[in-house]
């Protein structure tokens, strides 16, 4: 089955081109409609302050919502938990650094198919690209 590009793919193209305002314009309404792939990518923008004001607590809430869905396809929920782990490991403004929470989220990501190495790994926030699927 061939992959069919969707609006989230267009937003990811905008993110990769650093046209964050265009990405937000596409992702925000899709996220409001419950599109998990749009939500996780919008959360990344909030966690980095790209095209929107930096709002790590909002990103945390969005990542948690997607993680709790348990979407294995495309590793969507695993990436959400990975990004939560990264946030708690780094402690961006509005999020207290918490190694225990970070490890909890990395373990949840691992359970959903995204392996990690205990704090020694390359913990980075991740965009959910079309190549790994969507929801």
Here the CATH number for the domain that contains residue 20 is 1.25.40.10
Q: Is residue 74 part of a domain?
A: yes
Q: Is residue 105 part of a domain?
A: yes
Residue 40 has a pLDDT of: 96
Q: Is residue 109 part of a domain?
A: yes
Q: Is residue 92 part of a domain?
A: yes
Q: Is residue 132 part of a domain?
A: no
Give the span between the Cα atoms of 108 and 115, in whole angstroms.
10
96-135 pLDDT per residue, tens: 999 999 999 999 999 999 997 654 444 455 555 444 444 4
Q: Is residue 127 part of a domain?
A: no
Give the span between the Cα atoms of 61 and 67, in whole angstroms.
10
59-97 pLDDT per residue, tens: 999 999 999 999 999 999 999 999 999 999 999 999 999
Cβ burial of 7 (10 Å; 0-12, 13-18, 19+) is middle
**What length does the chain have?**
135
What's the domain range around 41?
7-122
Structural domains of the chain, count: 1
Give the span between the Cα atoms of 49 and 79, in whole angstroms.
19
Q: Is residue 114 part of a domain?
A: yes
């Amino acid at each position: 089955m061939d992959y069919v590009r969707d609006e989230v793919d267009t937003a990811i193209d905008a993110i990769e081109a650093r046209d964050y305002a265009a990405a937000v314009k596409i992702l925000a309404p899709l996220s409001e409609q419950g599109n998990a792939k749009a939500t996780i990518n919008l959360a990344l923008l909030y966690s980095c302050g790209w095209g929107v004001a930096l709002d790590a607590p909002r990103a945390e809430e969005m990542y948690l919502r997607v993680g709790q869905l348990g979407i294995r396809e495309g590793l969507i929920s695993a990436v959400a938990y990975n990004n939560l782990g990264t946030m708690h490991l780094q402690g961006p403004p509005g999020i207290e650094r918490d190694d225990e929470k970070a490890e909890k989220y990395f373990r949840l990501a691992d359970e959903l198919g995204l392996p990690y190495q205990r704090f020694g790994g390359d913990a980075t926030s991740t965009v959910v690209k079309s190549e790994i699927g969507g929801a």
